[in-house]
Amino acid sequence: MDKETFCAKLRIARQDAGLKQEHVAKHLNLPISAVSVMESGARKVDVFELEKLAELYDKPIEWFFHQHNPLYKRRWYDLDPILSEAVELLRKAPTKLQRSAAYGIIGFLKQGGFVDPDKQF
């Protein structure tokens, strides 16, 4: 991935999160101009800043480096929009709800005979 693409992804992630550069600068404890030059590519982003940005933008760090080509699907659930949406919603749900949903899915698959009911995963 080239520098321009990475910097564009920084800007896209901020915009997707509905944040202004001022908010990001405050979160990073930097001047607003630092965010602007990061997004333009004139300033490097260190690993600690990227970690904070990923958390603020609610994106995994790999998102900033992955080419989001719709023809290329990295994960099994990316191949189906319903599965992709379900996994993304589950990821954002509270832990207690995630576990409840997981137990429900496991029960459904075991009772339906889709997996060995005695096998522990």
Residues 45, 47: Cα–Cα separation, whole Å: 7
Q: Is residue 69, in this structure, part of any structural domain at all? A: no
- Per-residue pLDDT at 115: 82
Residues ≥6 apart with Cβ < 8 Å to 16: 57
State percent of the chain over pLDDT 90.
Answer: 51
- Per-residue pLDDT at 74: 64
Name the pLDDT band for 70 (thresholds 50, 70, 90): low
Q: Taking the CA atoms of 97, 109, 59 and 55 in sequence, report the sign of the dihedral they define.
A: positive
The single-letter code of the amino acid at 120 is Q
Q: Is residue 120, in this structure, part of any structural domain at all? A: no
Q: What does the mean pLDDT of the chain come to?
A: 87
List, for residues 9-51, the tens digit of each pLDDT value: 999 999 989 999 999 999 999 999 999 999 999 999 999 999 9
Q: Which residue has the higher pLDDT, 66 or 31?
A: 31
- Per-residue pLDDT at 112: 87
Q: Which residue has the higher pLDDT, 75 or 94?
A: 94
Residue 24 buriedness (CB in 10 A; 0-12 / 13-18 / 19+): buried
Name the domain count of the chain. Answer: 2
Residues 16, 8: Cα–Cα separation, whole Å: 12
Residue 89, token pair as written in the block: 């919603």
**pTM for the predicted model, two decimal places:** 0.56
- Per-residue pLDDT at 73: 54
Rg (CA), the chain: 19
Same domain assignment for residues 52 and 89: no
CB neighbours of residue 21 within 10 Å: 16
Same domain assignment for residues 18 and 59: yes
Same domain assignment for residues 56 and 102: no
